[in-house]
């Protein structure tokens, strides 16, 4: 099982540490926060491969972190001699009999523990070439990866091979289905991994004898005899036909999985990706096997995704899974508690969510929790009319709609507390805009005291004199005449106007949102958007 | 008092000591076993004998040379305690001379060459230092990896190797060492540490550790006949004498002298293995094996081209006239034979 990954100078990550929990780990983040990079890095250190190619043979300078690349080049141009930067992925593993040989202190934290390290570092054998390379710093654009060598070691400092790595990983990236001859690379891997060693030996043996039988088949023998009798035009040696039984031609390259008698590659992409996920999940539980799933929502219809998520949940009880997702649905279903919000240097977890809140989001699986998680700042309101008014208020003050500034206005009904519970561990700047509903605003605010103790959370309640809800509050802040103008109405009393507004909440809010007239916003809304 | 956990078998040539550890290792399939020895010749010999007995090398057995054992399990895992940085060490440098004028405080250059290969003569030194600096972590790591460690030809270990052996003997791993102090033909390195214990003195070194290690003497040779045993025993009058269990009589038998004139006929008639001191020895054109390299082998008959000290010994029969190494090599050479050892005079 994986305990922790430390990534240095790889892609987006300059110095990144992420601890894993047993079971499900759901990686969430905006585009370009490195969700896929984490999966890629874990897979790299377990297989030596990136996108199915051995990195040691294919090290690209573009895999190096951009900041470190710029810094390195700048230092060179400043006339100094910086050490060419290393790229490191350290994967810390749980102690077990299978990982015992990987124990040592060759890791970034100097812990005496079990793990694997992939490192690309400058190779001093290229000293002459490198000297020529740095002689003209102005022409340098990238890190000279061609003078690097890759090492794949255990924390014991000894080289490892794909065979000696005790943890296997299935990467399931439904979006990228690559095909080789026969079964595709990781489908092969998944099938191979599903079999016990004894079954694998049996499969290999049967396949081998099948090929050998081919040569013994009477009709083939006859053909071969005929060929032997043919006088050699090119060579004096005997010519005969047989099947390649070299290592290259093992069962993996010839056997193709079939779904309902249809070769796997002819099955729809959605089916392929769910099958791959399920094959990976079906592995034996006792194995040190990690499943890396990239965006399971890809290629899947909503119903099929629902089925798949239910299966993932059921099958993953005793194993470690890393999932990246863009989908609030997937996130809510799999459980917010397992969420890891990626940052530049690590991950943020929603530890300490109450079971009630977890359950709430799981039931409201369609709810857009990711909006709160990914926003830089959130304003929580009760309903769509409040949302429109707040948007307008924000634009009046800041000149742009809130979403421009990464501020998300989210209507959450009466579930403010559920969302605030999410906001606390995220330390997300959050404002609540709420009615006083006839209560003393101070009392209403006091109800959120446990949240407002955090300086990043504020609660804004309609003032006492301004009415119970948004509509009278708006009227209190503006004249009846002004509002009548905006709505195209002509109510003679405040009472009638409020009644109209309350019965046509959204229409009125939309009219205000679109109106060219200057509108005075109630004080509590102005505070919230400040 | 509980009996010591560890076992040292001090045995005469042909007493089946390698056979003993192979049998033990194969008998414990539920233990994780490491088999190691100093010379690559002997390592190959062990490997081949396991194949012969078990048809493959079972997964629970790891066979590794002493150098590779040190480098893999002692030096690399805790290299940063000595070198300051991780991931420096690569292989072992068996070629270069030790660098001069580099103080031990410059550990990077004192222990390894530019590429990061450890100098062969400093591997054990490094191993001991890394383990000590890591607070015994290397030994604890090995305890998690192996239940039993078997060391063949223990008399080849010397200097810092003995400190490694000492740590192993005091660890939770069951350690069995076998060896013959009379067959000390190689020293693993050229340091001054533990100099007094090189070669034949390994028995004395083990003798100081009887609290953790039982010493067992095996004095029956299944290979050499009694005449050969007696000749070999006479070289080491301080050690227990050997009894032969080879009662077969195959002519020629015993210790012989052979004139150069009779050599050709002898070789044609009996097909003996020809043993020599080194490649510079004139063997009259016969293909031959060096004394040192013949260790571990068995032949029906051998022919030995004696060195000057050996010729002197044959005359005087005074072992004190033979230097330690020459005595070992003579012992090894003569005990290769089951039936006869002929000296070319």
Q: Average pLDDT in the B311-340 region?
A: 90
| Integer CA distances (angstroms), A523 to A7, A386, A526, B316, in order | 48, 14, 5, 119
CB pairs under 8 A between A and B: 53
Chain B contact for A112, CB < 8 A? yes
Q: How confident is the model at residue B178 (pLDDT cuts 50, 70, 90)?
A: very high
- Percent with pLDDT over 70 in chain A: 86
More confident residue, B248 or A433: A433
How many angstroms separate the CA atoms of A279 and A263, rounded?
16
pLDDT at B100: 87
* H helical segments located in chain B: 17-27, 40-54, 66-70, 80-83, 107-111, 123-133, 137-145, 160-169, 202-207, 226-233, 260-270, 308-316, 324-334
pLDDT at A524: 93
Sign of CA dihedral A363, A367, A373, A374: positive
Dihedral class, residue A427 (left if φ above 0, else alpha if ψ from -120 to 50, else beta): left
Asked if the Cβ–Cβ distance from B76 to A110 is below 8 Å, we say no
Q: Average pLDDT in the A56-70 region?
A: 90
Facing residues of B37 across strands?
Answer: B65, B152
Q: Average pLDDT in the A272-279 region?
A: 70
Residue A442 CA to its chain's centroid (Å): 42
Q: Average pLDDT in the B207-234 region?
A: 92
- Strand ranges (DSSP E) for A178-288? 258-259, 262-263
DSSP state of A146: G
Alpha-carbon distance A100 to nearest alpha carbon in chain B (angstroms)? 6
Token pair for A439: 């209560």
Q: How confident is the model at residue B92 (pLDDT cuts 50, 70, 90)?
A: very high
- Strands A339-342 and A347-349, sheet pairing: antiparallel
Residues in chain B: 345
Q: Average pLDDT in the B47-70 region?
A: 93
| Integer CA distances (angstroms), A197 to A200, B34, B54, in order | 5, 24, 20
Asked if the Cβ–Cβ distance from B87 to A158 is below 8 Å, we say no
Q: Average pLDDT in the A403-423 region?
A: 88
Asked if the Cβ–Cβ distance from A104 to B114 is below 8 Å, we say no
Q: Which residue of A has its CA nearest to B69?
A: A158
Q: Average pLDDT in the A362-369 region?
A: 72
The alpha-carbon radius of gyration of chain A (Å, integer) is 31
pLDDT at A380: 94
CA angle A163, A169, A172 (to 5 degrees): 140
Residue A385 CA to its chain's centroid (Å): 34
- Percent with pLDDT over 70 in chain B: 94
Chain B contacts of A101, Cβ < 8 Å?
145
Q: Which residues of B touch A (CB under 8 A)?
A: 72-73, 75-81, 86-87, 89, 114-115, 134, 137, 141, 144-145
pLDDT at B24: 93
Q: Would you call A152 helix, strand, or coil by DSSP? A: strand
Q: How confident is the model at residue B20 (pLDDT cuts 50, 70, 90)?
A: very high
Q: Average pLDDT in the A335-355 region?
A: 80
Burial class (CB within 10 angstroms; exposed 0-12, middle 13-18, buried 19+) of A243 = middle
pLDDT higher than 70, residue A235:
no
pLDDT higher than 80, residue B300:
yes
Dihedral class, residue B270 (left if φ above 0, else alpha if ψ from -120 to 50, else beta): alpha
Chain A contacts of B114, Cβ < 8 Å?
124
- Nearest by CB to A104, which of B76, B114, B115? B76
Q: Which residue of B has its CA nearest to A154?
A: B77
Q: CB under 8 Å to B343, separation ≥6 — which residues?
A: B255, B256, B257, B258, B304, B306, B310, B314
Residues B292 and B311: beta-carbon distance below 8 Å: no
Q: CB under 8 Å to A6, separation ≥6 — which residues?
A: A16, A17, A88, A89, A90, A92, A107, A108, A109
How many angstroms separate the CA atoms of B137 and A113, rounded?
10
pLDDT at A171: 75
Task: Give the torsion through C-alpha atoms of A388, A390, A393, A395, to 10 deg.
Answer: -70
Residues in chain A: 530
pLDDT higher than 90, residue B313:
yes
pLDDT at B1: 45
Q: What is the pLDDT of residues A89-127, one digit of tens each?
A: 999 999 988 889 999 999 999 999 999 999 999 998 888
Residue with tokens 């190959």: B44
pLDDT at A178: 46
DSSP state of A447: T
As a whole number, the mean pLDDT across chain A is 83
pLDDT higher than 80, residue A337:
no
Among A residues 147-166, those touching chain B with beta carbons less than 8 Å apart: 151, 153, 155-158
More confident residue, B310 or A337: B310
pLDDT at A366: 64
How many angstroms separate the CA atoms of A117 and A102, rounded?
10
pLDDT higher than 70, residue B210:
yes
Residues A243 and A215: beta-carbon distance below 8 Å: yes
Closest CA to B116 of B172, B149, B76: B76
Token pair for A460: 């804004």
Q: What is the pLDDT of residues A153-162, one digit of tens each?
A: 999 999 998 8
How many angstroms separate the CA atoms of B344 and B335, rounded?
16
Q: Would you call A361 helix, strand, or coil by DSSP? A: helix
pLDDT at B187: 56
How many angstroms separate the CA atoms of A303 and A296, rounded?
13
Token pair for B291: 């004394």
- Nearest by CB to A157, which of B77, B137, B145? B77
Chain B contacts of A107, Cβ < 8 Å?
86
Asked if the Cβ–Cβ distance from B76 to A106 is below 8 Å, we say yes
pLDDT higher than 80, residue A181:
no
CA angle A503, A506, A508 (to 5 degrees): 75
Closest CA to A335 of B98, A127, A314, A396: A314
How many angstroms separate the CA atoms of A263 and A336, rounded?
38
- Nearest by CB to B87, which of A101, A103, A153? A153
Chain B contacts of A103, Cβ < 8 Å?
77, 141, 144
Facing residues of A152 across strands?
Answer: A118
Residue A290: CA count within 13 A, CB half-sphere: 25
Q: Average pLDDT in the B81-92 region?
A: 92
pLDDT higher than 90, residue A249:
no
Q: Would you call B283 helix, strand, or coil by DSSP? A: coil
Residue A114 CA to its chain's centroid (Å): 26
Token pair for A509: 């809010």
Residue B45 CA to its chain's centroid (Å): 12
Alpha-carbon distance B88 to nearest alpha carbon in chain A (angstroms)? 8
Q: How confident is the model at residue B333 (pLDDT cuts 50, 70, 90)?
A: very high
Q: CB under 8 Å to A449, separation ≥6 — which residues?
A: none
Closest CA to A305 of A365, A355, A260: A365
pLDDT higher than 70, residue A183:
no
Asked if the Cβ–Cβ distance from A104 to B89 is below 8 Å, we say no
Residues A409 and A387: beta-carbon distance below 8 Å: yes
Mutation for testing the A interface, residue in B68, B77, B123, B139 having most A CBs under 10 Å = B77
Closest CA to A333 of A291, A301, A369: A369
Alpha-carbon distance B108 to nearest alpha carbon in chain A (angstroms)? 15
Chain A contacts of B145, Cβ < 8 Å?
100-101
Chain A contacts of B77, Cβ < 8 Å?
103-106, 155-158
Chain B contact for A83, CB < 8 A? no
How many angstroms separate the CA atoms of B199 and B157, rounded?
8
How many angstroms separate the CA atoms of A202 and A211, rounded?
14
Asked if the Cβ–Cβ distance from A105 to B77 is below 8 Å, we say yes
Asked if the Cβ–Cβ distance from B86 to A156 is below 8 Å, we say no
Q: CB under 8 Å to A301, separation ≥6 — which residues?
A: A270
More confident residue, A212 or B321: B321
Residues A525 and A393: beta-carbon distance below 8 Å: yes
pLDDT higher than 70, residue A340:
yes
pLDDT at B128: 96
Q: Which residue of B has its CA nearest to A96?
A: B144
pLDDT at B220: 93
How many angstroms separate the CA atoms of B34 and B151, rounded?
8
- Strands A53-54 and A49-50, sheet pairing: antiparallel
More confident residue, A33 or B44: B44
- Nearest by CB to B78, which of A105, A119, A153? A105
pLDDT at A180: 37
pLDDT at A119: 95
How many angstroms separate the CA atoms of A117 and A42, rounded?
10
Chain B contacts of A160, Cβ < 8 Å?
none
Q: How confident is the model at residue B250 (pLDDT cuts 50, 70, 90)?
A: confident
- Nearest by CB to B145, which of A101, A106, A125? A101
Q: What is the pLDDT of residues A429-488, one digit of tens each?
A: 999 999 988 899 999 999 999 999 999 999 999 998 888 899 999 999 998 999 999 999
pLDDT higher than 70, residue A234:
no
Token pair for A150: 């890759």
- Nearest by CB to B89, which of A110, A112, A157? A157
pLDDT higher than 60, residue B278:
yes
Alpha-carbon distance A144 to nearest alpha carbon in chain B (angstroms)? 20
The highest-confidence range among A290-299, B136-145, B243-252, by mean pLDDT, is B136-145
> ipTM exceeding 0.85?
no
- Strands A148-154 and B174-179, sheet pairing: unpaired
């Amino acid at each position: 099982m994986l305990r922790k990954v430390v990534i240095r100078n790889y892609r987006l990550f300059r110095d990144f540490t992420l601890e894993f929990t047993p079971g499900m780990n759901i990686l969430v983040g905006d585009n370009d926060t490195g969700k896929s990079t984490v999966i890629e890095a874990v897979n790299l250190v377990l297989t030596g491969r990136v996108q199915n190619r051995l990195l040691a043979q294919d090290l690209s300078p573009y895999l190096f972190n951009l900041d470190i690349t710029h810094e390195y080049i700048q230092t060179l141009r400043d006339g100094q001699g910086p050490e060419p930067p290393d790229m490191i992925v350290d994967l810390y593993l749980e102690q077990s009999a299978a990982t015992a040989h990987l124990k040592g202190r060759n890791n970034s934290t100097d812990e005496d523990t079990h793990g694997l390290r992939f490192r690309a570092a400058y190779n001093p054998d290229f000293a002459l070439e490198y000297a020529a390379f740095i002689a003209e710093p102005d022409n340098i654009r990238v890190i000279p990866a061609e003078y690097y060598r890759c090492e794949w070691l255990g924390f014991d400092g000894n080289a490892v091979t794909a065979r000696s790595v005790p943890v296997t990983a299935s990467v399931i990236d439904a979006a990228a289905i690559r095909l080789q001859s026969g079964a595709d690379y990781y489908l092969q891997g998944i099938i191979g991994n599903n079999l016990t060693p004894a079954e694998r030996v049996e499969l290999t043996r049967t396949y081998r004898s099948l090929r050998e039988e081919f040569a013994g088949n009477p009709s083939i023998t006859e053909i071969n005899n005929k060929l032997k009798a043919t006088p050699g035009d090119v060579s004096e040696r005997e010519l005969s036909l047989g099947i390649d039984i070299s290592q290259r031609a093992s069962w993996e390259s010839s056997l193709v999985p079939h779904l309902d008698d249809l070769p796997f590659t002819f099955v729809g992409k959605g089916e392929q990706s769910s099958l791959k996920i399920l094959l990976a999940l079906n592995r034996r539980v006792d194995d040190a096997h990690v499943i890396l799933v990239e965006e399971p929502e890809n290629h899947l219809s909503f119903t099929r995704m629902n089925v798949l998520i239910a299966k993932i949940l059921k099958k993953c009880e005793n194993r470690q899974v890393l999932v990246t997702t863009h989908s609030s649905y997937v996130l809510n279903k799999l459980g917010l508690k397992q969420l890891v919000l990626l940052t530049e240097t690590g991950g943020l977890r929603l530890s300490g969510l109450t079971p009630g809140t977890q359950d709430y989001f799981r039931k409201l699986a369609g709810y857009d929790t990711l909006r709160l998680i990914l926003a830089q700042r959130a304003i929580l309101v009760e309903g769509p009319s409040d949302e429109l008014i707040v948007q307008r208020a924000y634009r009046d003050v800041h000149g742009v709609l809130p979403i421009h500034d990464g501020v998300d206005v989210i209507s959450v009904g009466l579930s403010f507390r559920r969302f605030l519970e999410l906001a606390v561990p995220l330390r997300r700047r959050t404002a609540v805009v709420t009615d006083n509903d006839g209560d003393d605003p101070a009392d209403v605010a006091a109800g959120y005291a446990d949240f407002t103790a955090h300086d990043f959370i504020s609660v804004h309640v309609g003032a006492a004199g301004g009415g119970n809800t948004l509509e009278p509050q708006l009227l209190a802040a503006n004249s009846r005449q002004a509002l009548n103008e905006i709505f195209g109405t002509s109510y003679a009393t405040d009472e009638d106007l409020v009644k109209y507004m309350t019965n046509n909440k959204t229409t009125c809010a939309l009219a205000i949102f679109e109106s060219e007239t200057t509108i005075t916003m109630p004080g509590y809304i102005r505070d919230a958007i400040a | 008092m509980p009996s010591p956990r560890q076992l040292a078998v001090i045995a005469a040539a042909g007493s089946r000591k390698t056979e003993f550890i192979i049998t033990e290792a194969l008998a414990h399939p539920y233990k994780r076993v490491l088999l190691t020895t100093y010379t690559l010749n002997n390592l190959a010999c062990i490997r081949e004998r396991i194949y012969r007995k078990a048809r493959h090398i079972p997964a629970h057995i790891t066979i590794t040379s002493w150098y590779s054992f040190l480098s893999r399990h002692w030096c690399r895992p805790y290299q940063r305690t000595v070198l300051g940085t991780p991931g420096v060490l690569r292989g072992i440098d068996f070629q270069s001379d030790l660098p001069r004028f580099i103080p031990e405080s410059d550990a990077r250059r004192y222990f390894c060459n530019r590429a990061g290969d450890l100098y062969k003569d400093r591997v054990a030194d490094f191993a001991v230092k890394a383990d000590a600096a890591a607070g015994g972590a290397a030994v604890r790591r090995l305890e998690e990896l192996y239940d039993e460690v078997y060391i063949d030809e223990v008399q080849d270990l010397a200097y810092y190797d003995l400190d490694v052996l000492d740590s192993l003997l005091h660890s939770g791993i069951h350690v069995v060492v076998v060896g013959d102090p009379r067959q000390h033909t190689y020293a693993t390195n050229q340091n001054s540490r533990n100099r007094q214990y090189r070669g034949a003195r390994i028995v004395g070194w083990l003798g100081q550790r009887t609290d953790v290690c039982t010493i067992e003497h095996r004095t029956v040779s299944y290979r050499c006949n009694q005449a050969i045993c007696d000749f070999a025993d006479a070289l080491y009058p301080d050690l227990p004498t050997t009894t032969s269990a080879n009662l077969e009589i195959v002519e020629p038998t015993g210790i012989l002298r052979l004139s150069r004139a009779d050599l050709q006929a002898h070789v044609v008639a009996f097909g003996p293995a020809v043993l020599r001191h080194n490649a510079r020895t004139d063997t009259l054109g016969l293909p031959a094996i060096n004394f040192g390299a013949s260790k571990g082998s068995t032949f029906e008959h051998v022919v030995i081209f004696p060195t000057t000290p050996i010729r002197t010994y044959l005359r005087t029969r005074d072992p004190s006239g033979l230097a330690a190494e020459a005595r070992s090599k003579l012992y090894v050479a003569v005990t290769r034979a089951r039936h006869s050892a002929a000296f070319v005079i």
